[in-house]
Amino acid sequence: MRKKFVAGNWKMNMDAAGAKALAIGLKEELAKCQDAAKVDVAVCPPFVYLPLVAEALAGSNIGLGAQDVYTEANGAFTGEISVDMLKDVGCQFVIIGHSERRHVLGESNELINKKVIATLAADLEPIFCIGELLEESESNKTEAVLEMQIRKGLENVTAGQMAKITIAYEPVWAIGTGKTASEQQAQDAHVFTRSIVKDMFGDDVAAAVRIQYGGSVKPANAKGLMTQSDVDGALVGGAALNVEDFIGIIQGSISRGCGCNCKC
Ligand code: PEP
């Protein structure tokens, strides 16, 4: 059985004091939750706050991730951050191919693939994002888009390396819009995603790979989404900026519910 994985993408939000307070609040609330070990949790703050969030989370089981990385190890790449730099400040995860990087910052499948390869080579764990635009969804191109993103993004990845990868299915029309995919839409896209992984890497990899759903996940819709059999957690944007909401989503991902004393 796949353990659920809930990750918070803080995007370009917070200041130092807010980042520290959010990390500490999350750590304290999660420590009260006796079922917390049933789900993997990570937060992905902006690069500049990674060290202070790492310090704030020390002693907790909350993982630390970055929102992006560059392909090269070092050198004349002004403004970029390498895998070794991320390891140096305690990162375990890296979000790669987020829709804002694909569609606002113009990242191609080829660049995303290079980032996946560099991340895996450094023994970091990619959260590899895929998802279709509204017009692609409306013209029945969702599966074609997902297949292209998966095949190109995971080119030259080995079956063994797939154990380190989480896939995040995030329909672009649902990100930050308040529109969520229906439970059935999410389940169908996840089943399709798993079928491509199976074709590329075989049955065992497909059965083991975790596929998060992302797109306006809130405490109110988390449980319905997370109880879909192929939805293995969530990548959360807006609701990850608030302790109570993020804890509520984590709680929603624990299938039998949380019977403990935490705020969730
Ligand atoms: C995201 O940024 O990955 C995301 C899913 O954002 P939101 O939860 O705000 O839709």
The CATH number given to whatever domain includes residue 239 is 3.20.20.70
Is position 129 within any domain? yes
Q: Residue 258: inside a domain, yes or no?
A: no
Closest CA to 176 of 63, 9, 7: 9
Q: Is residue 260 part of a domain?
A: no
Which of 236, 246, 250 gets mutated to test ligand 1 (max ligand atoms within 8 A of its CB)? Answer: 236
pTM over 0.85: yes
Catalytic site residues?
98, 170
In this predicted model, what pLDDT tens digit does every residue of 225-259 receive, in sequence order? 999 999 999 999 999 999 999 999 999 998 655 55
Nearest CA to ligand 1 atom 7: 237
Q: How confident is the model over 27-74, as pLDDT tens digits? A: 999 999 888 899 999 999 999 999 999 999 999 999 999 999 999 999
- The residue segments making up the domain with residue 174 are 4-252
Q: Is 176 in the pocket of ligand 1 (CB under 6 A)?
A: yes
Verify whether ligand 1 is closer than 6 Å to residue 236 (CB atom): yes
CA of residue 76 to ligand 1 center, whole Å: 32
pLDDT digits (tens, 9 = 90+) for 89-102: 999 999 999 999 99
Ligand 1 atom at minimum distance from 236 CA: 8
Examine residue 261 and state whether it is found in any structural domain, yes or no: no
* Closest C-alpha to 148, from 118, 112, 173, 182: 112
User: Does residue 165 sit within a domain?
Assistant: yes
pLDDT at 216 > cutoff 70: yes
Task: Please give the tally of structural domains in the chain.
Answer: 1
Residue 143 domain-assigned (yes or no): yes
- The rounded percent of the chain whose pLDDT value lies above 90 is 93
Is the residue at 167 inside a domain? yes
Residue 257 located in a structural domain: no
Structure confidence by residue, pLDDT tens digits, 126-167: 999 999 999 999 999 999 999 999 999 999 999 999 999 999
- For ligand 1, whether the C-beta of 45 sits within 6 Å is no
Q: Is the pLDDT of residue 264 over 50?
A: no
